[in-house]
């Protein structure tokens, strides 16, 4: 009895002692973490001390401005701070924004990996394909897929692209009226999705006339916005907290829609290849299409190229192969609508080359120099991918002597580069003569498809599609801007307009 009573009297004290010890350990852990963060922050401050930047708060970083104003704020920094500018998001979250061609050339000539601190938020959507992979695995996938963009493969795609564009233009003829403009981005997105599905994924059907495809395009638009906003929200860095948020739930739903779409594409082609005749036909090709390369790699060596790898590459190229080109085409059409003299000159060039546009061939794509100049100038003003990020794996010294240590994240601002007045005089002026055949410019002053070994693998595919879409549209319609709704560029994974891209279309006689 006495022992039991003694134990009961000691028990509360034991609990109290344990709580005190636990509290002390937690306090020590917090102090250790605070010291770690402080030392890391001091290291970051020293790392970027050579680069002037606006004043910032030690915890909240640089002054907050609406996400839709990021590009406008960036251009102010481009004018004020030469070559590069550190940006603090919060605490010790820092990246260095660069927008100088010499700096771009140095970084893009290296093999630094994508900055996973940022790009990891894409992985639930597109997995680890060419966009997110690094190192030897990235090199193996890139080497495997490069033949899918050989000119022998790309040549017959021109006719497929033209058919997809004509379907879109036929729809526009039925929709247009003299009194109301048309929002073109959604239509162009469906057209580029239709084109990529038929060219690279051997898809049979018409995406533009299938209402189910609208949900995929909408999901991609949502994911574009959600990933971009998540990167800039300190609370949403944690996966658990993000999943519980309304944005997290919407992201999960959008990912499911995107994955369902790509799974159907993969399964349809797998089913086709079960037919002996179709399989032999595919094997007999001198060069395989994009999806067939992936499927044969999966069939022949599933251990090194799994079903997960297969879907990641399909998800990646389905997104990059249609959304970036949709952005490019939509902004090009707006630029031509806003500059009618250049539009008319392009139209006359295309008419002299194609006549009524009944057909367009691979060889003709290189015979429209002025239209190509206008396309490039629009891509300068409105680059489809506004920026890409790298994490330095070793120190770097730039041509002006300034340097950054290993571990710093650099944001290569293609939008900032293309609007840098030290690189492009009067950068906001639409001037196609910048790209005249006899013009000279820095090798890294114009990077709509990025640059270096990690440039866009499908850049020739994309450029072909831009030319086909612009040429056939100009043969069919006169483009005019809606003065009440001037497009407002906003930074996302892919450049968008906050208020859409609205154009008046007048059918040509």
Strand boundaries in 144-299, DSSP class E: 182-183
- Model pLDDT, residue 1: 45
The confidence score (pLDDT) of residue 176 equals 87
Neighbouring-strand partners of residue 412: 98, 388
Which residues fall within 8 angstroms of residue 255, CB to CB, at 6 or more apart? 124, 125, 219, 223
Looking at residue 416, its pLDDT comes to 98
Mean pLDDT of 9-17: 66
Strand partners, 490: 496
Please state whether 231 falls in left (phi above 0), alpha (psi between -120 and 50) or beta: alpha
Q: Is the pLDDT of residue 4 over 60?
A: no
- Distance separating alpha carbons of residues 507 and 488, to the nearest angstrom: 26
- Between 178-182, 367-371, 456-460, the lowest mean confidence (pLDDT) is in 178-182
Question: What confidence score (pLDDT) does residue 298 get?
Answer: 87
What was the pLDDT predicted at 394?
97
- Per residue in 383-434, pLDDT tens? 999 999 999 999 999 999 999 999 999 999 999 999 999 999 999 999 999 9
DSSP 64: P
* Contact (Cβ atoms closer than 8 angstroms) between residue 294 and residue 205: no
Backbone angles phi, psi at 129, to 5 degrees: -100, -160
Cα–Cα distance, 83 to 73 (Å, whole number) = 15
Answer yes or no: are the C-beta atoms of 288 and 147 closer than 8 Å.
Answer: yes
pLDDT tens figures, 53-107: 888 887 788 777 788 899 999 999 999 998 999 999 888 889 999 999 999 999 9
- Please state, in angstroms and rounded to a whole number, the distance separating the CA atoms of residues 380 and 386: 10
pLDDT at 247 over 50: yes
Contact assessment for residue 207 and residue 214, using Cβ atoms and an 8 Å cutoff: no
**What pLDDT, on the 0 to 100 scale, is given for residue 8?**
46
DSSP state letters, 248-290:
HHHHHHHHHHHHHHHHHHHHHHHHHHTSHHHHHHHHT-SS--H
* Number of CB atoms found within 10 A of residue 18's CB: 10
Return all residues near 485 (Cβ < 8 A) that are at least 6 apart: 181, 499, 500, 502
480 contact partners, CB below 8 Å, separation of at least 6: 337, 340, 503, 504, 505, 506
Q: Is the pLDDT of residue 218 over 60?
A: yes
- DSSP notation for 450-492: B-GGGS-TTHHHHHHHHHHHHHHHHHHEEEEE-TTS---EE-S
pLDDT tens figures, 318-366: 999 999 999 999 999 999 999 999 999 999 999 999 998 888 999 999 9
Write out pLDDT tens, residues 481-491: 999 999 999 99
Closest CA to 195 of 469, 379, 448, 471: 469
pLDDT at 13: 64
| Strand 182-183 relative to strand 502-507, pairing | antiparallel
Residues 488-509: pLDDT tens digits? 999 999 999 999 999 999 999 8
Residue 142: count other Cβ atoms within 10 Å of its Cβ: 14
pLDDT of residue 6: 47
**What's the pLDDT band for 160 if we cut at 50, 70, 90?**
very high
């Amino acid at each position: 009895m006495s022992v039991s009573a003694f134990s009961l009297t000691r028990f509360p004290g034991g609990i109290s002692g344990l709580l005190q010890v636990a509290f002390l350990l937690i306090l020590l852990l917090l102090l250790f973490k605070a010291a770690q963060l402080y030392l890391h922050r001091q290291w970051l401050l020293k790392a970027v001390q050579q680069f002037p930047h606006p004043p910032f708060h030690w915890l909240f970083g640089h002054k907050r401005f609406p996400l839709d104003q990021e590009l406008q704020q960036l251009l102010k920094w481009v004018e004020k701070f030469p070559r590069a500018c550190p940006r603090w998001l919060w605490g010790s979250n820092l990246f260095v924004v660069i927008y100088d061609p010499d700096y771009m050339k140095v970084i893009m000539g290296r093999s630094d990996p994508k900055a996973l601190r940022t790009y990891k938020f894409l992985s639930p959507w597109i997995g680890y394909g060419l966009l997110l992979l690094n190192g030897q695995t990235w090199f193996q996938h890139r080497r495997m897929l490069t033949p899918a963009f050989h000119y022998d493969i790309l040549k017959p795609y021109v006719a497929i692209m033209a058919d997809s564009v004509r379907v879109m233009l036929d729809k526009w003829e039925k929709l247009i009226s003299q009194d109301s403009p048309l929002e073109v981005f959604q239509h162009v997105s469906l057209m580029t999705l239709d084109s990529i599905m038929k060219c690279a994924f051997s898809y049979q059907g018409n995406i533009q006339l299938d209402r189910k495809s609208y949900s995929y395009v909408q999901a991609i638009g949502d994911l574009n916005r959600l990933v971009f906003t998540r990167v800039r929200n300190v609370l949403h860095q944690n996966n658990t907290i993000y999943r519980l948020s309304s944005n997290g739930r919407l992201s999960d739903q959008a990912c499911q829609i995107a994955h369902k779409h790509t799974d159907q594409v993969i399964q349809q082609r797998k089913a086709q290849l079960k037919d002996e005749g179709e399989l032999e036909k595919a094997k007999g090709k001198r060069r395989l299409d994009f999806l067939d390369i992936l499927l044969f790699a999966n069939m022949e060596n599933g251990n090194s190229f799994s079903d997960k790898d297969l879907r990641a590459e399909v998800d990646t190229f389905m997104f990059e192969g249609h959304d970036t080109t949709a952005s490019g085409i939509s902004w090009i059409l707006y630029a031509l609508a806003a500059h009618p003299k250049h539009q008319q000159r392009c139209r006359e060039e295309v008419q002299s080359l194609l006549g009524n546009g009944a057909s367009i061939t691979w060889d003709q794509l290189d015979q429209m120099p002025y239209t190509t100049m206008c396309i490039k100038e629009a891509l300068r003003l409105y680059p489809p991918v506004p920026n890409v990020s790298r994490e330095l794996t070793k120190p770097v010294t730039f041509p002006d002597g300034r340097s950054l240590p290993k571990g710093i994240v650099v944001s290569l601002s293609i939008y900032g580069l293309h609007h840098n007045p030290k690189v492009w005089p009067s950068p906001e002026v639409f001037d196609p003569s910048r790209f005249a055949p006899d013009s000279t410019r820095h090798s890294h002053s114009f990077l709509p498809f990025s640059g270096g070994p990690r440039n866009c693998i499908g850049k020739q595919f994309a450029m072909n599609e831009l030319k086909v879409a612009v040429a056939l549209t100009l043969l069919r319609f006169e483009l005019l801007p809606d003065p009440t709704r001037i497009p407002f560029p906003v930074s996302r994974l892919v450049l968008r307009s906050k208020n859409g891209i609205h154009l008046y279309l007048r059918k040509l006689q």
